[in-house]
Copies of this chain bind each other. A is one copy, B any other.
Amino acid sequence: MNGEPAHERIAEFSCPIPISDHPNILLAHGGGGQLTHSLIEKMFAPAFRNSLLESRHDGAVLSFNGIRLAFTTDSHVVHPLFFPGGDIGTLAVNGTVNDLAMCGARPVYLSAGFIIEEGMPMETLWRVVQSMRCAAARDGVQLVTGDTKVVEKGKGDGLFINTSGIGILEHNLSIAPASVRDGDVILLSGDIGRHGIAIMAVREGLSFESAIQSDCASVAGPVMELLKTGIEIHCLRDLTRGGLATALVEITEVARLQADLEETAIPVREEVRGACELLGLDPLYVANEGRFVALVPSKDALQALTLMKSHSGDACVIGRVIAPQSRSFESGVVTIRSPIGASRIVDRLSGEQLPRIC
């Protein structure tokens, strides 16, 4: 056995997630919160260990003879396929475009892998393909390669779409959680919680006074403009599964810093807040599909805010990065100050709030 390379021997090791903990995959393993984190940290990261995976970012930044490219992938399983403000096609294109933008890359090329359930109406596929076409054209990205699989009726759910993407980095910044510094200002690109509530409303047959539309959109435009100004961007992160809270927990964990947020500064539309109260949800954890945070040094914060506000009037400063205020915070922490001044610790999403949100 000694002659075998290490990777041939690993199959003998036992599963790193003890059967006594989780013998089977739960919906929450795909929810973007605690269990997804545990699956990545305990199973995927050790198995595929390499320096690019270590960044724990929305994509990998690859170097080819001085040319830096971002590479990212996302499978989309949103249910229902069509929802107020978008559909699985717009989501599949925007989701991957946004992940490239979060690496500071200009999105250029996409792939699409369709997994279709037998019996899906051809017209439905056509509508989704048209949405993808429109979303790709809006961002000037080309869909250059693809794949189609069909599974038997009852072995899928209409349509799943994987999109992977390649973007070009046209600057020398290292935009990643590890670049975040004590004193950075945390900017949010707009109001939060709309995508999750829009999906939940359709799914649960809820109706509100005014229909809540998903915020599903590309954020490549504002990000490319931020980069053009030469602002020293430290980190970008789009707020998808797990919401604002989980995104900032993930960033501070890698950066080993503390993020202090002002709850009153975080924009949540009245109807979203009402729906959250009705459904027992915290808007901090609700998924978005067109929102991101930017972490920049305080010298650049005003310029970044002005530019972000030109895209969305709701863009704002929501807090600041500081050195850990307690020894127990040294692996990273997010705190939030309530309107009455009380401060609480925000953890990543635990359990599954809303499966198949994207």
Q: Which residues of A contact B (CB under 8 A)?
A: 5, 7-8, 10-11, 13, 15-17, 19, 22-31, 36, 39-40, 43-44, 47-48, 50, 52-53, 59-60, 62, 64-65, 67, 69, 71-77, 79, 109, 111-123, 125-127, 129-134, 136-138, 142-152, 154-157, 160, 162, 164, 166, 168, 355-356
Contacts and interface: CB of A to CB of B under 8 A. Distances in A.
Nearest to A126: B15
A30 B155 CA distance: 14
Nearest to A119: B24
A71 B73 CA distance: 12
A149 B30 contact: yes
Of all A-B residue pairs in the complex, the 5 with the closest CB atoms, nearest first, are: A30-B150, A164-B164, A73-B111, A60-B144, A162-B162
Given A5-B137, A48-B133, A48-B146, 12 more contacts: A10-B130, A23-B123, A24-B118, A25-B121, A30-B150, A39-B148, A40-B146, A43-B125, A71-B144, A75-B147, A155-B156, A166-B166
B168 A64 contact: yes
A122 B160 CA distance: 22
A26 B144 contact: no
A330 to B, nearest CB: 28
19 contacts: A7-B134, A11-B130, A17-B126, A24-B118, A24-B121, A25-B125, A30-B150, A44-B148, A47-B129, A47-B133, A48-B112, A48-B146, A62-B166, A69-B166, A73-B113, A75-B113, A75-B149, A113-B164, A150-B355
B113 A27 contact: no
B144 A50 contact: yes
Given A75-B147, A122-B15, A149-B77, A52 B166 contact: no
Given A64-B69, A130-B11, A150 B26 contact: yes
